Structure 1
Amino acid sequence: MHKVPEITLNDGLTLPVIGLGTYALNGNAGASAIQNAIHAGYRLIDSAYNYENEGTVGEAVKRSSVSREELRITSKLPGRYQNYDKAVTTIQESLYRASLDYYDLYLIHWPNPKQDLYVEAWQALIDAQKWGLIRSIGVCNFLPEHIERLEKETGVKPSVNQIELHPFFNQEQQRKWHQEHNIVTESWSPLARANHLLENETIQQMAQHHNKSVSQIVLRWHYQLGAVSIPKSASSVRQIENISIFDFSLDETEMSLISELTRPDGRINDQDPAVYEEF
């Protein structure tokens, strides 16, 4: 079993630096895949209300021999329930679906700025944390202006901001801003859903040099950037590969070469949080 280093959030909760993304891991096959990942050493499991698999995650937790206290389970509030009362009910529903007493981390999935409800959604997360339903509260896909407003209007800032982050979209400015404000960057689609990344010559050469896979090189890059990554895989072989990145390191040149692959249009689905709406 692989031991993954941890980081401490601004509210004291610890998170492993690599977790398992679970998008499209559903039903019995999904529960088995997540259970295998826990067995392999994964302790951070990332889900969302909109993935419709919180029950699958809960089933994997139940089947696992690892104690609940050792795990860090994440879910996310969808855009259609950002109204305060709906948000409170949805957090409770998330817990019922997973048969859990609490989530370790609960995030607002997108700011949906046109709806302008994200501050009251945040207040619902703050209250749910006070009631013991959530240990740590954060956001996804929020821009600095959105986070500044949360803190200004509620006095509470997120522990985590989960954003699209991969070599084709390295989010340098946003990461720097997070660092200055003591917010952990979490990378979704850290391998860019493998789009063209696996064929990238620059990274292939590094992989050969280190005798590692392309995925391992990219996940090591995330780790050295200080970001928590949540690669998704249903394959137990790939899961172990993704978590086996702590026995080598990339030098400054290699880090820069990977970061230089970024492009202005590097987002996978052109989802710009300033305008994108998720329900």
Structure 2
Amino acid sequence: MSHTAHIPSHRKPRRNAPKTALRAGVAGGVLSTIAVAGAAGPAQAEPVTQTIEMPTITAGLSTAVAASAQATQQVAQDLQTQAQEDAAATTAAKTAKKAKAEAVRKAEAKKKAEAAAKAKAEAAAQRASRSAVRTTLSATSGSTAVASTASSSSSSATGSAASVIAFVKAQVGDAYVSGGTGPNSWDCSGLVQAAFRSVGVDLPRVSQAQSTAGTQVSLSNLQPGDILYWGGAGSAYHVGVYVGGGEFVGAQNSSTGVVQRPLSYDPPSGAVRVL
């Protein structure tokens, strides 16, 4: 007997061979699968490479988009700033125009107020002066003397005197304007000068000179066409024309204009005869 005959494994039947072959086949299949996977590896590497490159593309695009957004925002800000500047300029122009119009309105109102105040002051001065003259006349001769004088000098005018009277009566109702010489507005001396010029007689322009332009006559001997004056001879502040019937015509003031009134309305200081 062999010295190894007692080891059973050395004597096992060959029916175990198929298992060994099966194991070998399984191992081979596994190796084949690995080999196939290894062979397939290169085909799948391309998507991996593309995936790695994507972040670079996305980063560049994001930068471009961000730059575009920033530029758009800057343009919007510029447009908004321009719009605000335009609106401010428009508002400033409107404000300046309104302020100018208001300044012009105030200047015109001030000018009118000053003119009205001046006219009022002149009228007040005239009334005061006439009042003083009336007081003096009343103290010396009385108003009855003036009335009787008017009655005694009511004879009808003829010739040049009639023309002078017709001229001044035709202007009754015209406006009084300081410095006015017609044809629709007058001051007292301007009316008297124009009336006598209509009959070819040239008189001085102002009341003071007109009060000494002819022969002095008393108020008790008045004739139609005589020049009446208020104040002193050579310093008169007002003149008119005696039209007969105890009445006179004169450009009184801005409130009354040219009027025809009785001598008692505003008794004169004296008279001169030119015709």
Give TM class, smaller chain.
Answer: under 0.3
Of the two structures, which has the highest relative contact order with CA contacts closer than 8 Å and spacing of 6 or more?
A: 1
Superposition TM-score, scaled by structure 2 size: 0.18
Superposition TM-score, scaled by structure 1 size: 0.18
Larger radius of gyration: 2
Of Structure 1 and Structure 2, the greater helix share is in: 2
